[in-house]
Structure 1
Amino acid sequence: MLISYIIIDATETLTQESDRFLEFNELLCVGVSTTYDNAIDLILEKKPQLIFFHFSNEIPLHLLLNIQQYLEKLPYVIALNDTDAHAYKALKHGVMDYVLMPFLESELRKSVLKFIKFYKDNSIEKLCIKSNGDYHFIPLDDIIYLKADNNTTDFYLQSGKVISGFKTMKFFEGQLPFYFFRVHNSYIVNIKFVTRINLGKFDCFLFDNIHKIPFSRTYRENIDAIIKRIG
């Protein structure tokens, strides 16, 4: 399971401390923002599960009220500040936890572990695929990759089974978590199963090199993101 997070911090203090997050293998940073407007754009674009928000005069708590008008549900927010005087105000703005800065490593660890437990307890781990009148409920971790086939989508699973869903890949793409990457107009891969990437031949190997699929220049940015994560 991978969980996406972003950092919002005008002072860049958290960015300088980003190594603190490396011990949590479940977490993947998908963006950092140091300005108010960019923070809003980043949240709406990446839709992270977790936000580390070092609020300040430059990026105040009001940001959270602003984004609530665009999202059905506010992401889990861990607020950080150099005084506990703002803790009650932060909670009223919808944050789920509050950490004083400069933070102790043990306090940050407890806050993150509490979030991970919350996320696991509340996350949806299966995808519903309608196929030939049947409804298949497939664990997300069993899906190696998706292949578009006209107006249907084939799901390749760890078991070797292939299930065809009678919807376009664009439809399913909107339901998949962030660790599924589109690498080609016809392919989406689960980053957990990527075992090799050949940049010269534009090939991506999955599931101990059992599957080989192409990637295109159009999605080279996603390939670079996969390499960065695995590397």
Structure 2
Amino acid sequence: MKHNYIVIDDDYNSVVKTRSVAAGFQNLHFVASAANYDDGLDLILQHLPDIVFLEISPGKSHSRLSLHLINELHRYLKKIPKIIVTSKDNELALEALRYEVLDYFVKPVNARDLRRTMLRFEKNLGTAATPEPHSENLAQKIVDSPIIELPVVIEVPVQETIASGETVGPMVAYETAEAREENPPFVAYGTQQEKPLIICVKSYGDYRFIDATEICYLQADNNSTDIHLNNGEMITAFKTLKHFENVLTSPFVRIHNSYIVNIDYVSRIHTGNAVCYIKNTTTKLPFSKSYKENVDAILNSISNGNYLEI
């Protein structure tokens, strides 16, 4: 029996990893994902999933993700989906117990924990009784689970390699006040496209605004990163690729120790040669085995859209 699930998380990389792990379970079927409270609530009411992976310690405060979403569901639904809480640490595990969640995972989600949770879910499926208490499991996780710190977003000094040869100053990624309140820079699967992230390259009072959708891919160069745009320009930022992996969300995915790719510019993926192609160019980016789950998630993301396979 297939069980539909939704992921509600404001961290795109976490969504990718959760989907990759869940893809290994034949009885789980991905429906959609959202990055904030309102979109998440709407998706649940629209699709009525069996399971919801809910982030309750979001990296972006304006996403308003928390356990209170469960209370809101009781206003509209007689049957509440089973909630699997995900969090960066176990600080809210005891509070989550009071909401009768199915389980509590410290991110990233792993196959072993999910397998045990799904077995317990299947065992109790179709019964009116309350699922088996799993307080001891959660208590053990409180003892054993590591605390994972979220990355700190900082300004990035950059140098733009254009014909003028001009050196520019810090690059600051930001959104308008309206976007911060209503539309985080995450494009949720199955939801309306959000406003694009705007990156400001600032140089002594000169502000250059770049739509993040213009970035095709990022390439590591020792302790700096080359940002390749769709018009052929390249900007060198003096931060590591790891930094950009932490601060960029959808549609940017890391596929190699040296590359982060914008999914929207992927025209072809050749798994045999372990390369992906960039649209309207001759550029081929390699992907490595250590990032295979991310590549699989790219394939899933593309196939879940307006897609025809022949």
TM bin, normalised by shorter chain, reads: 0.5 to 0.7
- State the AA in 2 paired with 1:160: G
5+ unaligned residues in a row in structure 2: which ranges?
7-14, 20-32, 46-50, 79-187, 304-310
5+ unaligned residues in a row in structure 1: which ranges?
1-11, 19-28, 33-45, 86-111
Report whether the alignment pairs 1:159 with 2:228.
no
Which structure has the larger Rg over C-alpha atoms? Answer: 2
Distance 1:183 1:133 in 2: 36
The one of 139, 154, 176 equivalent to 2:211 is 139
Q: Structure 1, residues 23-65: CA drift from partner, whole Å, max 9, x if none?
A: xxxxxx8558xxxxxxxxxxxxx993442457xxxx9xxx99x
The equivalent of 1:26 in structure 2 is none
User: How far is 1:168 from its partner?
Assistant: 1.4
The equivalent of 1:201 in structure 2 is 273
* Paired residues of 2:227 and 2:237 also in contact (CA < 8 A): yes
Identity %: 38
Q: Kindly tell me: are residues 69 and 216 of structure 1, through their superposed partners in 2, closer, same or farther at Cα, counting changes over 3 Å? A: closer
Write the mapping of 1:114-129 to structure 2, written as runs, cut at 5 A: 116=192, 120=194, 123=195, 125-129=197-201
Q: Kindly tell me: are residues 153 and 70 of structure 1, through their superposed partners in 2, closer, same or farther at Cα, counting changes over 3 Å? A: closer
Report whether the alignment pairs 1:225 with 2:214.
no
* Paired residues of 2:198 and 2:211 also in contact (CA < 8 A): yes
Q: Structure 1, residues 164-215: CA drift from partner, whole Å, max 9, x if none?
A: 1121122222221222110000100000010111111111101135211111
Q: Structure 1, residues 117-152: CA drift from partner, whole Å, max 9, x if none?
A: xx74xx452124568997653211100000011111
Write the mapping of 1:7-22 to structure 2, written as runs, cut at 5 A: 15=5
Give the alignment's TM-score, normalised by structure 1: 0.53
Residue 56 of structure 2 aligns to a residue whose secondary structure is: helix
Q: Kindly tell me: are residues 147 and 131 of structure 1, through their superposed partners in 2, closer, same or farther at Cα, counting changes over 3 Å? A: farther
* Paired residues of 2:58 and 2:65 also in contact (CA < 8 A): no
Count of aligned pairs between the two proteins:
160
Report whether the alignment pairs 1:67 with 2:56.
yes
* Paired residues of 1:129 and 1:135 also in contact (CA < 8 A): yes
Structure ranking higher in helix proportion: 1
User: How far is 1:72 from its partner?
Assistant: 2.6
Residue 247 of structure 2 aligns to a residue whose secondary structure is: coil
Distance 1:175 1:195 in 2: 24
Report whether the alignment pairs 1:170 with 2:159.
no
- State the AA in 2 paired with 1:187: Y
The equivalent of 1:185 in structure 2 is 257
Q: Kindly tell me: are residues 175 and 68 of structure 1, through their superposed partners in 2, closer, same or farther at Cα, counting changes over 3 Å? A: closer
- State the AA in 1 paired with 2:61: E
The equivalent of 1:216 in structure 2 is 288
Structure ranking higher in strand proportion: 1
Distance 1:160 1:132 in 2: 25
Distance 1:179 1:211 in 2: 18
- State the AA in 2 paired with 1:199: T
* Paired residues of 1:131 and 1:166 also in contact (CA < 8 A): no
Distance 1:14 1:219 in 2: 26
CA RMSD of aligned residues (A): 4.4
* Paired residues of 2:201 and 2:209 also in contact (CA < 8 A): yes
Give the alignment's TM-score, normalised by structure 2: 0.41
The equivalent of 2:35 in structure 1 is 48
Comparing 148-157 and 207-216, the one that deviates more: 207-216
Q: Which has the higher contact order (CA 8 A, sep 6+)?
A: 2
Distance 1:152 1:166 in 2: 4
Q: Kindly tell me: are residues 144 and 131 of structure 1, through their superposed partners in 2, closer, same or farther at Cα, counting changes over 3 Å? A: farther
- State the AA in 2 paired with 1:67: I
